[in-house]
Amino acid sequence: MGPLTPTHCTVCDKILPLWQDARQPPCCTDASCRLLLAQRAQLGEFLFQHQVSQGRARARERAEEARAVAARAAAEGAESERAFAALRAQRGTGPGVLETVLPSGPRRTRPVSARRRAAYEAHLRAVVAEAFVEPPPSAPPPAPAGAPALDSRLPERLCTACGGGCCTAGKEHAYLIPASIQRLRFQDPSLQPEQIVQFYLRHIPAQACVNSCVNQTRQGCALPREWRSDTCNTWACKPLQTLYEGLQTEPRVHTVRVLRRRQDQWTQTLLQADNGIVARAELREDALLTLRAPRDD
């Protein structure tokens, strides 16, 4: 008995597993493939085959892009390891030293334009109005788990070294949603809609970071922490999560050695974007030291 001939999906051309139920014509479990196949008679063979051809071309493009992203990630990983090895040779290493790669927050600022102010105000009024449809909550709205309570300045220093690489998606909404307003109302039931809107508007900085959240400055967020969104107060990137873990295990992290790359949290996998190493730093409880690139890096 010769080898079995693989069966391919009629739409996407994916090889089907042997255990999958036989379908005529063959089709994978993807909903879009099954939908297009169900419309074959209605579309007519010419249009059906045209859509199949386009879909396969898009799938090939996605696969090629995924391979390119993986290849660049591997190249960046090798580059980072060489840079860390040079820093180890220069500064030593040992238990409690964490090495991590950070994205970059924006480094330039400009005055907040009238357009940005208007867009932010429109968003604020919409979420405040939605929140005030209900009475003040008797319990705080559910929120994601926040940072663990740790006696350490290293998480703060890590965010400082990054400069807000996750804040860039805040734009003119600052991640504020009705639940953010309900949390404020739980803390102070006397707050009125216009009070809340005006508080946020008063805290718009004169200069905000370019292409980032309207509240982001070179010194950090312009809002008091309790007025920030749950996302701002609880979300943690992978390097920050790793640091949290390292501060709760033995040997406890006491030093963080950082490489900072050019792109932010959301653009670091874009193939067309330069994501080279732009800074090195060493973080300790008592200091944030900027490091020079070793000669052999």
In sequence order, which ranges of the chain are alpha helices (DSSP H)? Answer: 31-38, 40-43, 45-91, 114-131, 154-162, 178-187, 193-202, 230-234, 238-246
Task: Give how far the C-alpha of residue 213 lies from the chain's centroid of Cα atoms, to the nearest Å.
Answer: 14
At 247-269, the pLDDT tens digits run: 999 999 999 999 999 999 999 99
Instruction: List per-residue pLDDT tens for the chain, 297 residues long.
Output: 556 778 899 999 888 987 765 668 899 989 999 999 999 989 999 999 999 999 899 988 988 999 999 999 999 999 999 999 999 999 999 999 999 999 999 999 999 999 999 999 999 999 999 999 999 888 877 766 667 778 899 999 999 999 999 999 999 999 999 999 999 999 999 999 999 999 999 999 999 999 999 999 999 999 999 999 999 999 999 999 999 999 999 999 999 999 999 999 999 999 999 999 999 999 999 999 999 877 654
Q: Please, which residues have CB within 8 angstroms of residue 93's CB and are 6 or more apart in sequence?
A: none
For 165, left (φ over 0), alpha (ψ -120 to 50), or beta? alpha
Which 3 state secondary structure label does DSSP give 230?
Answer: helix
Cα 47 to Cα 30: distance, rounded to the nearest angstrom:
20
What are the backbone dihedrals phi and psi of residue 259, each rounded to the nearest 5 degrees, phi first? -110, 130
Question: Which residue shows structure tokens 């009705």?
Answer: 178
Beta bridge partners of 291: 280
Cβ burial 89-101 (10 Å sphere, 16+ → b, else e): eeeeeeeebbbbb
Question: Which residue shows structure tokens 């690139």?
Answer: 293
For the chain, domain boundaries: 69-291
